Amino acid sequence: MQAAADVTKKECSWSNWKGQAIDLLYWRNVKQSGAVFSSVLLLLFSLTQFSVVSVGAYLALAALSATISFRIYKSVLQAVQKTDEGHPFKAYLEIEIALSQDQISKYADKILLYTNTCMKELRRLFLVQDLVDSLKFAVLMWLLTYVGALFNGLTLLILAVVSMFTLPVVYEKHQAQIDQYVGLIRTQVNSVVGKIQAKIPGAKRKEE
C-alpha cells in the first residue's frame, strides 16, 4: 500500500510540474511567464558579454546582498518593536531539498536509458543500417555546418528560449493554418524521399 501511495504521489507531482511548465510556456499567467522569460533572456545576454564565472559571481553577490540586507532589516525591526519573530527565512530553511535515494536512482536510470538509446541510434546511423535514415542524418549535419557558421551555441540557445515562449502561443492561435501547411510540407518531403528510395539500390526499407 505504501509503495502504491508513493507511486501515485510521484505521478501527481510529475503531472503538476508538467502542467506548470505548460502554463508557463502558454502564458496562462502573464506576470509569471514574463518574469521567467525576461530573467532567462537577461542571463543569456549577460553570458554573451561576460564569462560564466563572472555572471555566476555577480548573481551570487546580488542574491547575498538582498538576503543579508533583508535579514539585517528584520533584525533591527524586531529590536525596535521588541518582538521575537525569529529568523525571517525560517520557513525556507526548514524545507527539505535533499534528493532521496529513490529519486537519485530514478534519474540515474533515465539518464542511462537515454544514453544507451542515443548510442544505439548513432551506431545505426553511422554504420548505415538504413541508407535513407543515414542520408537524412548526413543532410542534417550538412545544414548544421551552415547554422554553426552563422550562430554560436549561445545565440542558438537564446533563439531556442525565444521560440519556446512564442511558438506555442502562435500555434495555439493559428493551429488550423499551421497544420495545413505542415501537412503539405510533409507530403512533399515524403514524395521526394519515396523517389530517392526508388532510384537508389538498397535504399528501400525492408518490409517487416
Question: Within a 10 A sphere around the Cβ of 135, how many other Cβ atoms?
Answer: 17
Note down pLDDT in tens along the chain; length 208 residues.
Answer: 555 555 455 555 556 777 788 888 888 888 988 999 999 999 899 888 888 899 999 999 999 999 999 999 988 888 888 888 888 888 888 888 887 888 888 889 999 999 999 999 999 999 988 888 888 899 999 998 988 888 888 888 899 999 999 988 888 888 888 888 888 888 888 888 777 777 766 555 554 4
Within a domain: 36: yes
Q: How far apart, in whole angstroms, are the C-alpha atoms of residue 102 and residue 105?
A: 5
Read off the pTM: 0.62
Within a domain: 203: no
Within a domain: 177: yes
Number of compact structural domains in the chain: 1
Within a domain: 97: no
Within a domain: 190: yes
Going from the C-alpha of 174 to that of each of 89, 159, 160, the distances in angstroms are 45, 21, 20
Nearest 5°: the CA angle 28, 96, 5 is 75
**Which structural domain, as residue segments, surrounds residue 40?**
1-78+110-195
Tell me the Ramachandran region of residue 27: left when phi exceeds 0, alpha when psi lies from -120 to 50, beta otherwise: left
Q: How far apart, in whole angstroms, are the C-alpha atoms of residue 141 and residue 20?
A: 34
Within a domain: 86: no
